[in-house]
Amino acid sequence: MVNEDFINIFVGDYFDPYTWIPFYELQQNFQEIIDLKKQLPDKVVLLYGNHGYEYLPSISEESSRYDFLNANKITELLTENESLFHGIAYAIGERYIVTHAGITKPWVRRYLPEAIDYTPSKMAEAINTLWLNDKPAFGFRKNADLGDFYGESVEHSPIWVRPISLGYCNIYKRTDVIQIVGHSKVKTITEDLNAIFVDCLESVTKSKRIIWD
């Protein structure tokens, strides 16, 4: 499932699949990911997505496909494994930065104005520190435009913003830094607009090796 020669990054959304899957299978899949992290702590990175955020204690938001029936169990699973998660962002050298959905300049200006010109490693550190101290900064309601029901706002956070908005206001636009994101479904791994989109869901696709100095 993972290659021990590389860093294996999970970009979130461990629950609420597009197609129906029995909860016991989702739970088993999540446990396998957790076990991998425990076995290979330096080779597996776990990030949060919006379909994990909504189940965290004290968060009162429900995304599409929210699992009301199993919400308490999902909250329990995420809470008891919280220490295994890296946070929201992970930098691969100074060329790539990974989040669930992408980082926009307007969101950074609002919550991390001092980080506007940060390199990927410093940006990831700043975002993860904000995550520890202010989880509502990453929510949908707090950052949505009026009438926004999908996440298509440049003000949205790194677990919510959609590709069009990310394309307009990518924090690394006109640089050589590439963002790696999931969140929005694509048929195959796609690179465009200073971003690589990797949410292929059930599609069979070739992996993409990221090599950095």
Q: Would you say residue 149 lies in a domain?
A: yes
- Please check whether residue 87 is in contact with residue 125, taking contact to mean a CB–CB distance below 8 angstroms: no
- pLDDT band with cut points at 50, 70 and 90 for residue 130: very high
Per DSSP, 18 falls in state: S
* Domain ranges, residue 17: 8-197
- pLDDT band with cut points at 50, 70 and 90 for residue 64: confident
Q: Would you say residue 212 lies in a domain?
A: no
Q: What pLDDT does residue 204 have? A: 46
Q: Would you say residue 3 lies in a domain?
A: no
Q: Would you say residue 208 lies in a domain?
A: no
Q: State the Cα–Cα distance between residues 167 and 92, nearest whole angstrom.
A: 21
Is pLDDT of 194 > 70? yes
The strand ranges marked E within the chain are 8-10, 44-46, 90-92, 96-98, 178-181, 190-192, 195-197
Is pLDDT of 146 > 80? no
DSSP H helical ranges for 85-170: 105-111, 120-133, 163-169
Tokens 């694509």 locate to 186
Q: Would you say residue 180 lies in a domain?
A: yes
Q: Would you say residue 209 lies in a domain?
A: no
Is pLDDT of 213 > 80? no
Overall average pLDDT of the 109-120 stretch:
96
- What is the number of residues in the chain? 213
Q: Would you say residue 211 lies in a domain?
A: no
Q: State the Cα–Cα distance between residues 119 and 139, nearest whole angstrom.
A: 24
CA angle centred on 90, ends 89 and 96, rounded to 5°: 110
Q: What pLDDT does residue 201 have? A: 63
Q: Would you say residue 2 lies in a domain?
A: no
- pLDDT band with cut points at 50, 70 and 90 for residue 43: very high
Percentage of the chain exceeding pLDDT 70: 92
- Please check whether residue 12 is in contact with residue 50, taking contact to mean a CB–CB distance below 8 angstroms: yes
- Please check whether residue 1 is in contact with residue 36, taking contact to mean a CB–CB distance below 8 angstroms: yes
Number of domains into which the chain is organized = 1
Tokens 């010109």 locate to 117
